[in-house]
Structure formats: C-alpha cells, structure tokens
A = this chain, B = another copy of it.
Amino acid sequence: MTVANRWRLPDGIDEVLPEQARHVEHLRRSLLDYFALWGYEQVIPPLMEFSDSLLLDLGHDVDVYAFKLIDQISGKTMAIRPDITPQVARIDAHSLKREGAVRLCYAGSVLHTRAKSVLASRSPIQVGAELFGCDGLDGDIEVISLMLGMLHAAGIENCHLDLGHVGIYRALVADSGLTQDQQAELFDALQRKASAEIDILLQAAAIKPAMANQLRALGRLNGDVTVLAEARKVLAGAPAATLAAIDQLQAVADVLQERMPSLVVHFDLSELRGYDYHTGLVFAALVPGHGQALTNGGRYNDIGAVFGRSRAATGFSADLRAVAQFSQLAIASDAAIFVPFELAQPAWHEVQRLRAEGEIVVVALSVEDVVDSRCDRILTCTDECWSVVSL
C-alpha cells in the first residue's frame, strides 16, 4: 500500500466523524438509559473470547461471520465477537448466577467477516437487551414492548412489528421425515419465499401430500392478524406444537395491541431468522418503506446450558448506526464561547468556572487566527471584569 492510500478503510468498515458521532453518542446514551428505566442493567462483555465461549459451533451463521485469531498466550483459538447475545447469556448463566429473572443490556462494537446484507456494515455497534429466566409469554411481551419503546425513545415512530415463531416450522419438519440437508434446503427456499423451489424440494423428498401442503402453505402465511385464523385452518392436523405456537402469537399480539392500539403487526409464519439458535417467538421492527429490519430478536432458551446452567432467554438487538439513520432525536446545542489567545492564561480561572457551569469554551491557541465555527459568543475583559458577549 502506497502512502497515497494508507487512509483507505476496508469495505464495510466505517468511521464516524464528529457531527454524526454526536448523534450516535446521544442515541447510545438514550437507549441505555431507556433500558435502565425498565430495570435492565448494563454489562460490558469483552471484544474477544475463546471461540467456544462465543458459541460459534451453535449455528452456521455465527461461525461464518466471526474473525478468528490464535491466542499467543494459550495457543487456543479466539474470535472477535460477531454477536454480543451469546456473551450476555454466558454472563447470566455463569458470571452472575442469579436466580429468577435477570435483565441485562449492552452497547458495543462487533465485527463480521462479511456484511450480513448489501447495506449492512461489517463493524456494527450492537445495542440490545436480554431477559433471562422467564419462559412465559409475559417475558416475550416485556421484551417486545421494550424493543418498541426503545424505537420510540430514539424518536422513530410508526415502526411495524413483524412476528413469527420458529416452533411452527420446527414442529412441522420434525414430523416430516426430511433429512438434515433437505431441511436446510427447504429452510433456505422458505426464507426466500421461492415457491417453485419449495414445490420441487417437497416432491423430490416424497413428503406426504397433506404435510407437503402445510409446508408449502407456510411461505404464503404472512400478513395481518387474519393470517392466524387461516393458519389454524391450513395447519389443522399438524403437530400440537405447531398449533400451540400459533396460539402464542395470538396471545402476544393481543396484549401488544391493547397496549399500543395503533401498532401495525405483521405475521410471517415462515420467518425463521436466526433459526440456528432461536427456539420460540421471533420478532423484528421495520420502518415503513425500508426493506431491512431495524432491530430484531427472539427467544433462545437453550444457550445457557453450554455454560453450565440452562436458562430461558429472549432478547433483541440493533445496529446503533442503523437506528441513528432514522432517529429524530434533538441533540443539545454545541454553541461555544471563544477565548482569544491573549486571554488564555489570565482567563484560566474564569474559563474553568464557565466550563463547570456546562459552557463549551474554546481557548484559542497561538495558531488559531480564525474563530471556531461553533463559537457564537466571546469572552472579554473590561476593567478586570469578565463578560461573555455575542459574536
């Protein structure tokens, strides 16, 4: 690399410059403070852990997205976290070891070997909240309400809620006789709602017609709450777990609509986001007119076991910079007081007093012959009296 392009950043790796950084920092604080109001306590997990601790083996996704490194001290494989959720699950299961419900939140950088979507960053700032120890629907409801509240706290209104349940697909395929490979292919096709492919797959696998119809129907079962009634018809005769999952979707949606009557809820029964580690209700919030989910999450009950303690868990996360793009939060003014160079030393105590009052004060250096553009006032001294006057 020549001197001329040493400043280049790798694809999908971004820096945040002052104006945007003020916005991102303000949003970061607002969201962590909002989580705190709900009793969610912040934790700061490390950037890097042994690969095993990051649960890279749990799901194909996590493994593919993680940068791996050799620890010079232990000789073991470590990875830069591609996701903070498994770290927080480790903290709940092992480090805190508290009984009952535990509410945790976090904000921190993660790294991905490749972008998760065309527009996504490879270095997102992940912010999220996780609830452990509650397997009831009231846990799902709390976490989804918190997620929607977070978006409101970020000044983002009119988000749609997307609800799904991986239990529906799981129960259907468990009964289907499909091999692991076939399940993976079908999963992939369903995600893309590629109905022709789904047909071919089901035929090739010689699935019983009734079950094939049910699996095929999944891809179509998305829309408003009427989808649930339709699903009960189409999936009549499906395993009990499938119908129980539909009941859960209904119950959660009912409470959320009661809390937020204007909330638009969209159901998608083939939604299998994070199929590898989710175990129940999954959800996402979308800004109308913007394809990508702004924040998403779901139930992932089994993770704690690998750290020695099986715990119910549900939570969500978002990329802070993606949220910042839509956030309408007003931020405090950065208007400053200018102090001319010749006053730098005599004004020292006055400047410190002004800063202690919360004023931004830029004291000119010998090289500064122009006033910083943020300065709208200037410190002056007349008859040994300090005063701040407009510029």
Contacts and interface: CB of A to CB of B under 8 A. Distances in A.
B39 A7 contact: no
For this complex, into which size category does the number of interface residues on chain A fall?
35 or more
Contacts of A48: 10, 13, 67, 80, 111, 123
Given A42-B25, A365-B134, A366-B134, A259 B47 contact: no
A145 to B, nearest CB: 8
A78 B37 CA distance: 40
A188 interface: no
Contacts of A22: 41-42
B47 A109 contact: yes
Question: How many copies make up the complex?
Answer: 2
B52 A101 contact: no
A66 B6 CA distance: 17
A113 interface: yes
A230 B334 CA distance: 47
A348 B141 CA distance: 12
Interface in A337-371: 341, 344-345, 348, 352, 355, 358-363, 365-370
B69 A42 contact: no
B108 A109 contact: yes
Contacts of A344: 138
Interface stretch (A86-94, A177-185, A211-219, A289-297): A86-94
**Closest A-B pairs by Cβ, 3 of them:** A16-B44, A39-B362, A7-B94
10 contacts: A7-B93, A15-B91, A18-B96, A21-B41, A29-B29, A37-B361, A48-B123, A139-B365, A142-B365, A258-B345
